[in-house]
Amino acid sequence: MKSLVLKLLKENNSSCASSSADLCVETLYSYCQNCLESLLTLFQQASDSDFSEQSSELKEPVLRQITLEADNLLWLTDILAGRNAAEEFAGLWSNQRELAGLHSKLPTKSRHLVSCVTARLFVAIGKGEMLPSKDTRQLLLDVWLQPLMDDYNWLQHGCRSFDRTVVEEGIGSTILTLPLEDQQTILLSWLGSFLKVGNSCPNLQKAFEVWWRRTFVRPYVEQQGSRSQSGRS
């Protein structure tokens, strides 16, 4: 049913009247807010110290509901990105610090679809489906890049729809839109993780190379060019 609705919305995207489109986006955002509130409540419940001591019969419904809510949110994100209307959601997602803080306390099997939401936002930025503000892009990386990296090995091998190449291009593109100092902080932190876990971490080599050239090679070349110009004059 989700696939059918997504297909119909994509087909209707270009012919939809402005008022109808606005109403549709407004409705989608209300669903997103409901999913976010439910996810946070469920994460709080599942990360409680008493939860691990409960029987499987009591835990499984909660974990299944987390998977369902995360899948719904991923579906909504895909719709918003496809309609070039995901900027506001990127802001909402970037501000979910509490949810991101609880992420590591849940089993990867139950939480990995949450990381798929983050990945979809990076893909949307990389494809030009949206360009949120600089502050939102910075916050998205600060809050959600590490949880995504923590789940990366699972996503590669346990999620058939996960396209590593596209996701890595999206992450790299997002990083490279930031000021050089912020690029350096994020990429050097990534390098430390990459050296420890290798392919279980996103491969941001292309973004690292671009940052390196911008930081060290381009200024040198420009300096040499200025000296050459001065010598001729």
- What's the CA gap between 96 and 149, in Å, rounded? 17
- What's the CA gap between 64 and 72, in Å, rounded? 12
pLDDT of residue 109: 93
pLDDT of residue 229: 60
Contact 107/34 with Cβ under 8 angstroms? Answer: no
Reported as a pLDDT band with limits 50, 70 and 90, residue 24 is confident
pLDDT of residue 52: 86
Reported as a pLDDT band with limits 50, 70 and 90, residue 184 is very high
- What's the CA gap between 75 and 69, in Å, rounded? 10
- What's the CA gap between 133 and 87, in Å, rounded? 8
pLDDT of residue 15: 53
- What's the CA gap between 48 and 176, in Å, rounded? 38
Q: Is the pLDDT of residue 220 over 60?
A: no
- What's the CA gap between 87 and 77, in Å, rounded? 10
- What's the CA gap between 38 and 70, in Å, rounded? 10
Q: Is the pLDDT of residue 219 over 80?
A: no
Q: Which sign, positive or negative, has the C-alpha torsion 39, 30, 118, 91?
A: negative
- What's the CA gap between 183 and 118, in Å, rounded? 19
pLDDT of residue 25: 86
Contact 38/69 with Cβ under 8 angstroms? Answer: yes
Model pTM score: 0.88
Q: Is the pLDDT of residue 126 over 90?
A: yes
Average pLDDT across the chain, whole number: 89
Contact 108/136 with Cβ under 8 angstroms? Answer: no
Reported as a pLDDT band with limits 50, 70 and 90, residue 232 is low
Top pLDDT among 43 and 19 is at 43
CA atoms within 13 A on the CB side of 130: 25
What percent of the chain has pLDDT above 90? Answer: 75
Distances (CA, A) of 144 to 1, 27, 44, 138, 173: 29, 25, 17, 10, 15
pLDDT of residue 160: 83
pLDDT of residue 6: 65
pLDDT of residue 159: 86
Place of tokens 């990105």: 81
62 — phi, psi (to 5°)?
-65, -45
Instruction: For residues 64-92, give the mean pLDDT.
Output: 94
pLDDT of residue 226: 57
- What's the CA gap between 162 and 169, in Å, rounded? 13
Q: Is the pLDDT of residue 111 over 60?
A: yes
Top pLDDT among 2 and 99 is at 99
- What's the CA gap between 82 and 199, in Å, rounded? 29
